[in-house]
Structure 1
Amino acid sequence: MTGLTHDERTLLAPVERAPILERTLDWAAINSGTGNLDGLAAMASRLADAFAVLPGEVSLVEPAPVEKVDATGQTHEVAHGRHLVVSVRPAARRRVILTGHMDTVYAKDHPFQTCDWLDDNTLHGPGTADMKGGLSLMLAGLEAYERGGPTLGYDVMINADEETGSLSSAPLIARLAEGKLAALTYEPALPGGIMARSRPGSGNYAAVITGKSAHAGRNPEDGRNAVVAASDLAMRLAAGKREGLSVNPARIEGGAPNNTVPDLAIVHFNIRPRTPELAEHARQMIEAAIAEVSVRHEVRIHLHGGVSRPPKQVGEKTEKLFGLVSQAAADLGQAMTWKDTGGVCDGNNIAACGVPVIDTMGACGGAIHSPDEFLLADSLDARAQLTALVMHRLDRHGVAR
């Protein structure tokens, strides 16, 4: 470790892999799929106990209401787990936000539920990289930082719905991000330890199409076929893609028996705009497609949803924050680069608040969102040291060192 001061070496010396790994294994054994409310409650309780070692107030925040369109075209509220918040030195003049998520993509009935070792360094298990290992090393890094006479204040926010878009935690993220000096988010690093730079935005939609039923043989001309209109809409949406904007019609629901003209269909689709300008272009394209299909097929279309993850842009402040993080990594002997990526996360929401964010501070691993997910154990203590050092240097020097 070159480039470290004596105080920094002393700060980092107590960080050990074993307790971080033990905690990761314990947390990975709890199924906390976004829809598993009992599992999320158990995970939140375990996290609250663990993060109570920090000198701050631990609280569980109720989720904001979220509605979803069902197969009948009706909206209903979707239940979510509570979100964990730890507030340390809330009166400090300079404050940081650190975020992560307790939920995973693996439902309670998913076959991938246990961990095993592929080799001495590769832990195969659900949520190990995304992101229970990241949460564990975040805590270890903050514990180390607290031993160095800290003055920086910070909030830790661990939500229960990141994997489905953070809809019930978005207001909480925006409130906690306001006025922060910087943000660190513990998504897993990309293969090879590469950090994510800019990210596109993401929007999820459901277009509910109401036509008119009729007998398919006796008087089909009196009907207005919602499935045909849905197909037309899906094709028009797909044709709206362009450089920097993907449009994915993902599912069509609805229909009727073969002898009936169907009067209901629902088109579910996702957009990924790379810039705010492309997000606006997508909005206009969607509105135009809906208007054209409504007139052509004489149907009514009601659109639900919107862009919940704004495009994550990289400005001067974020460049400076990456410079601080990458220099800290270099001083620790951890090679680091960053590149643009296609995924989205809570870093999108934080960046939209004008706060510089590095959102891949978590563990190294791979194959996330699949039964092959794995964690590299040697990244646990390495990334915990990185967290402690970054927090220490933010405290001493601010973002621009």
Structure 2
Amino acid sequence: MIKRIKFNTLFVGMLFMFSQTSMANTATEQKITKHINDNLTQSQALLEKTVNINSGTMNFDGVKKVGAIYQAEFDAMGFDTQWVDGSEFNRAGHLVASYGNSGPKILMIGHLDTVFAKDDAFQHYSVVDDTHIAGPGITDMKGGDVIIIAALQALKALDLLDKISIKVVMTGDEESSGRPLSLSKKALVDAAIWADIALGFEDADGDIKTAVVARRGSIGWQLDVAGKPAHSSQIFTDNVGYGAIFETARILNSFREQLAGVGNITFNPGLIAGGTEVEVQPENSIVQGFGKTNVVAKEVTVKGGIRTLTADELVKAKKVMQEVASNNLAHTSATLTFADGYPPMAPTDQNYALLKMYSDVSESLGYGPVAPVNPRNAGAADISFAADHVDMAIDGLGLMGDGGHTKDEVADMSTFAQNMHKAAILLYRLGEAKAL
């Protein structure tokens, strides 16, 4: 809290200095963009090389191979690098790279893993046309990882990196978090506690004209409902009641009636099984049910997710859902449990101000303004674990495209150099403004 108060007292002045700096360093910024452009072929080769390595979250060898390639790039720039072993949380691990001890402390966030398993048919980098390239994880988010590296390489080559302190965290489990979260997210949270500013390089909604100042959190929930088994001819009687399936239907419909359209809350029952017996295999996300049409259902299990923009929304949603689940029909009972997950990244004035700085950079480069993403159009991401620990945070600064998490994932390569330019110059201006 002390760090946040101190930084916020400089906040308005920093915005003013940022605008003055942006007018005074055109020649230097042109050198930054030229360096990036001159090395664009090498950046694209790095992207191709790593996209062609399968790094599905549970393919630990693949995640480590991608991490080692990026680690070598940071080592070549003189960063202190570390591989954080993930065995304690059943994942490959994370790459952490650090540089500098002066100026604003900036955390840059990427991830090494993709949603595509080792045996998935979608495995290779493939040129679609002059401006589009397909590949597993090309936008989510190996393109963003390469943008981080290229931006830092430009500043380092031009001796412009020493006015800022950088910590890069590229996680190996963004697409499927290891458990417990206290261990799997520790490297990221520790870096955020150290930092003043966090920049995330996901692709957000795929539109280069937007960036993220807020992300909805995402957690899982499970509903287990019990009824009184009996011959179906006795359903609705005082002795038997309504059974587990009717009670489940009541609960889910009440969730919909009371929460649909409330703020930025959404919830989704994504998996359900019921009958005389229900078997749950959490490690495989499988729920199986056995029953007969002439037997009143004894059990139902529902697994779902809930997304909220703020902590208050999450508290409200949990309260409503628990109240609904506890007001049971005759001869039924229900237990509703919530899992750990991604916390909300709430919108703040500071986040909007950081976006304004980024937008100013974009406009000065001739790329036009950058507006905030509608939180409904961007999923959860690792920056949510950092946002509450830093003074300012934005995300969505990576390689843009379409079809993320599907076999139609395609990058718009016209955004590749543009977002390298914007990231590098934002870092440069932050260092210059803080130095004034």
Range into which the TM-score falls when normalised by the shorter chain = 0.7 to 0.9
Q: Which amino acid aligns with 1:106?
A: F
The structure 1 residue matched to 2:31, chosen from 3, 6, 10, is 10
Deviations 1:257-283, CA, capped at 9 Å, x for gaps: 327665443211111223333222101
Cα distance change of structure 1 residues 276 and 9 upon mapping to structure 2, 3 Å threshold: same
Match of 1:30 in 2: 53
Q: 1:389 Cα shift?
A: 1.0
Whether 2:83 is the aligned partner of 1:60: answer yes
**2:153 is equivalent to residue 143 of structure 1:** yes
1:283 to 290, 313, 318: 318
Alignment correspondent of 2:196: 181
> Higher helix share goes to which structure?
2
C-alpha separation in 1, matches of 2:87 and 2:433: 36
The TM-score normalised by the length of structure 1 is 0.85
CA distance in structure 2 between the aligned counterparts of 1:160 and 1:313, rounded to whole angstroms: 24
Matched letter for residue 164 of structure 1: S
1:83 matches 2:94: yes
User: Which SS does the other structure have where 1:251 is aligned?
Assistant: strand
Deviation at 1:211, TM superposition (A): 5.4
- CA change 1:232–1:189 in 2 (3 A) is closer
Aligned to 2:304: 269
1:51-78 Cα shifts (integer Å, max 9, x gaps): 3223222112234866xxxxxxxxxxxx
- Superposed CA deviations along residues 194-247 of structure 1, whole A, max 9, x for unmatched, are 2233332222212344556x5657998679954444333333323332332212
Shift of the alpha carbon at 1:43? 2.2
The answer as to whether partners of 1:131 and 1:186 remain within 8 angstroms in 2 is: yes
Cα distance between partner residues in 2 of 1:209 and 1:313: 33
Displacement of 1:189: 5.1
Partner of 1:162: 174
TM-score of the two chains, using structure 2 as the length reference: 0.79
Are the aligned partners of 1:205 and 1:268 in contact in 2 as well (CA < 8 Å)? yes
**1:330 and 2:359 matched:** no
Q: Is the 8 A contact 2:46 2:146 kept in 1?
A: yes
How many residues are treated as equivalent by the alignment? 383
Residues of 1 paired with 2:426 and 2:178: CA distance?
26
Aligned to 2:415: 379
- The letter for the 2-side match of 1:357 is A
* Structure 2 Cα separation of the partners of residues 226 and 109 of structure 1: 39
Aligned partner (choices 362, 383, 386) of residue 350 of structure 1: 386
Cα contact 1:159–1:166 (8 A) shared by 2: no
Listed one character per residue, the Cα deviations across residues 172-192 of structure 1 (whole Å, up to 9, x for unaligned) are 322211142211110115344
Q: Please, which runs of 5 or more residues in structure 1 have no aligned partner?
A: 67-78
CA 1:223–1:86: 2 relative to 1, 3 Å: farther
Identity of aligned residues (%): 23
Equivalent in 401, 406, 420 of residue 370 of structure 1: 406
Q: Distance in 1 between matches of 2:386 and 2:305?
A: 21
Distance 2:300 2:434 in 1: 53
Deviation at 1:97, TM superposition (A): 0.3
Could you tell which deviates more after superposition, 5-14 or 226-235? 226-235
AA at the equivalent of 1:384: M
CA RMSD of aligned residues (A): 2.8
> Within the alignment, does 1:19 sit opposite 2:19 as a pair?
no
Q: Which string of whole-angstrom CA distances, capped at 9 and with x for unpartnered residues, describes residues 154-177 of structure 1?
A: 110111221235764333322211
Match of residue 281 from structure 2: none
Counterpart CA distance in 1 for 2:134 and 2:250 is 44
